[in-house]
Amino acid sequence: MTKTHAAPGDELVFLPLGGSNEIGMNFNLYGYGPPHRRKWIVVDLGVTFGDQTTPGVELILPDPAFIEEYAKDILGIVLTHAHEDHIGAVAWLWPRLKAPLYATPFTAFLLREKLREKGLHERAPITEIPLSGSFSLGPFDLTLLTLTHSIPEPNGVAIRTPLGTVLHTGDWKIDPEPLTGDVTDEGAIRRLGDEGVLAMVCDSTNVFVDGEAGSEADVRVNLNVLIGQLKGKVAAACFASNVARMDTIIRAAEANGRRVCLVGRSMIRMAQAARSVGLLEGVGPFLSDSDARHFPDNQILYLCTGSQGEVRAALSRVADGSHPHVKLGKGDSCVFSSRIIPGNEIPIRNMQNKLADRGVRLYTERDHPGIHVSGHPCRDELKRMYQWARPHIAVPTHGERRHLLEHAALAKDLQVAHAVAPRNGDMVRLAPGAPGIIDEVPAGRLYVDAGMVTAENGDALRERRHAAFNGVLAVSVALDGRSKLASGPQVRALGMPSDADYPLDEALDDLAQEAKDALFRLSADDRDEDHAVEAALSRALKKAAFRIWKRRPVVETTVLRL
């Protein structure tokens, strides 16, 4: 039952710590109560992925430092759906927050697998909430609203408080034929609007795209036709989480006389999760990748992970020729039933070029637009959502800065009284009084580097970036018992350029001479101190390297005493 009375001094605030000013890494907080005694709920706790600017980094997590200080006041972590940018950080960060988890069955299945990998499945409590279910967490009464998206069981959340109701949409679109799950519960959203929606915190991904995103039902027709026209072996790549697309590709393959082989761990895991909630019914058993080799080329379809060019994913290994069982070549085809996520253009292009070089014919949404539709709302769908919910305040989220500002402008055009477009770390007061940003809290990032969670500005990544651009020099010397030069200096280089006019060996000889001169300039007392010798060698090589290459390489020094 809704709590109807607010106490003096109570406030309702919204605080994004991820997912505002970026697409991905969603981490949203709602706080209720007086500032010094707020109770909190978390809505989604996701990741984003490393790129060329973060060499060696696999995952990027939101930094929970602010809310970690108030962990005892977190009433629950509510997951809207199972995409990685909404649940991927839970297993990494749960030990810092230790709050109960709430999710619908499909999301809960995948969440348990992630927690099991971290040895947390028996410690982190998950409460399964049925679709359209309701539950209470302190001053928050929550009701799940069925929406449509590119994954099973996407939910909006109606958050009722004594100071008003917030509609948190999560990721959504309006698909009249979603193929998996029910259609968007327009009636429930309209009823919420009739009750009165204080604020709507809403997906901004496609705010610049006119019209509507399109239906999975249309993709099914188009993929069935396309796959029926292809000869030889066929590989298809899509997001493993898009179970409707998986289902479509599987059924299109079977309708055209092909058996299906799932390639990639996440594809296999997602199929298991889908079957756990009654999806993927009526399709034949899948082949293992080793068994699929024994079928004629025109009777097999490989459904692969790696549509974004991920280096270790199945399709990249196929493109490299390093997959142990799946080989594609001349006369084969690869269908990309997915979009290019911004930032992934280069690895996708490189992978596709490798496939093309092997003689594989490529089919993408650029040349066959009907084989993919977005899972996020375009402008016409956003307008319909605002017409249904009729919020007093619009709070755009899930977008880069330009998306959020455009979404806020659209809301104002639709006669929404107030629009606030926060950045990560901006605390927005929703009630009482005029809405606005009332505080700014730390909202950084954590990097998963070689399986370790490290600070965003840690030494390892800073040194790696520096070395990637400037290269590395290593110098070693051996000094005798009187601190006189016994051997060396020897200089080795990694990542330093050369040409015919100035070969690298010649440059290294010059650097060794600079190091020797620097050593001879030291006093006898300084040569007795390793740190003084190391500093002199480092300074000499950095200065010489800048003169030669206009670079400031990382310099590693080794002093041996005989």
Give me the tens of pLDDT residue by residue for the chain, a chain 562 residues long: 345 588 999 999 999 999 999 998 999 999 999 998 999 999 999 999 887 778 888 899 999 999 999 999 999 999 999 999 999 999 999 999 999 999 999 999 999 999 999 999 999 999 999 999 999 999 999 999 999 999 999 999 999 999 999 999 999 999 999 999 999 999 999 999 999 999 999 999 999 999 999 999 999 999 999 999 999 999 999 999 999 999 999 999 999 999 999 999 999 999 999 999 999 999 989 999 999 999 999 999 999 999 999 888 999 999 999 999 999 999 999 999 998 887 788 999 999 999 999 999 999 999 998 999 999 999 999 999 999 999 999 999 999 999 999 999 999 999 999 999 999 999 999 999 999 999 999 999 999 988 889 888 788 888 888 888 889 999 999 998 888 888 889 999 999 998 898 999 999 999 999 999 999 899 888 888 889 999 999 999 999 999 999 999 999 999 998 8
- Does residue 441 belong to any structural domain of this protein? yes
Could you tell me if 332 and 302 are in contact, meaning their C-beta atoms sit under 8 angstroms apart? no
The answer to whether residues 407 and 335 belong to one domain is no
Last residue of a domain, one of 426, 450, 474: 450
- Does residue 2 belong to any structural domain of this protein? no
326: domain CATH number is: 3.40.50.10710
Q: Can you give the pLDDT at residue 527?
A: 86
Other Cβ atoms closer than 10 A to 447: 22
Q: Can you give the pLDDT at residue 2?
A: 46
Q: Can you give the pLDDT at residue 456?
A: 86
Could you tell me if 397 and 201 are in contact, meaning their C-beta atoms sit under 8 angstroms apart? yes
- Does residue 328 belong to any structural domain of this protein? yes
438: domain CATH number is: 3.60.15.10
Q: Can you give the pLDDT at residue 55?
A: 80
> Cα–Cα distance between 467 and 459 in angstroms, integer?
12
464: domain CATH number is: 3.10.20.580
Domain count along the chain = 3
494 to 271, 546, 553: CA distances (angstroms) = 45, 15, 9
The answer to whether residues 234 and 170 belong to one domain is no
The answer to whether residues 30 and 167 belong to one domain is yes
- Does residue 6 belong to any structural domain of this protein? no
Last residue of a domain, one of 450, 467, 493: 450
- Does residue 3 belong to any structural domain of this protein? no
Q: Can you give the pLDDT at residue 398?
A: 95
Q: Can you give the pLDDT at residue 327?
A: 96
Q: Can you give the pLDDT at residue 1?
A: 39
Is the omega angle on the peptide bond into residue 489 within 30 degrees of 0, that is, cis?
A: yes
**Terminal CA-to-CA distance of the chain, rounded, Å?**
81
The answer to whether residues 173 and 26 belong to one domain is yes
Domain that holds residue 359: 216-367
- The DSSP bridge pattern shows strands 48-49 and 57-62 to be antiparallel
> Cα–Cα distance between 126 and 121 in angstroms, integer?
9
The answer to whether residues 27 and 150 belong to one domain is yes
The answer to whether residues 488 and 424 belong to one domain is no
The answer to whether residues 68 and 166 belong to one domain is yes
Last residue of a domain, one of 367, 390, 409: 367
What are the residues whose beta carbons fall under 8 Å from the beta carbon of 315, sequence distance 6 or more? 235, 237, 263, 264, 304, 305, 306, 307, 334, 351
Rounded to 5 degrees, φ, ψ at 440 are: -130, 125
The answer to whether residues 17 and 148 belong to one domain is yes
The answer to whether residues 122 and 258 belong to one domain is no
- Does residue 5 belong to any structural domain of this protein? no
- Does residue 408 belong to any structural domain of this protein? yes
Total-model pTM: 0.88
> Cα–Cα distance between 403 and 415 in angstroms, integer?
19
The answer to whether residues 287 and 432 belong to one domain is no
The answer to whether residues 175 and 57 belong to one domain is yes
Could you tell me if 429 and 30 are in contact, meaning their C-beta atoms sit under 8 angstroms apart? no
The answer to whether residues 45 and 192 belong to one domain is yes
**Burial code of 160-188, b = ≥16 C-beta within 10 A, e = fewer?**
bbbbbbbbbbbbbbbbeebbbbeebbeeb
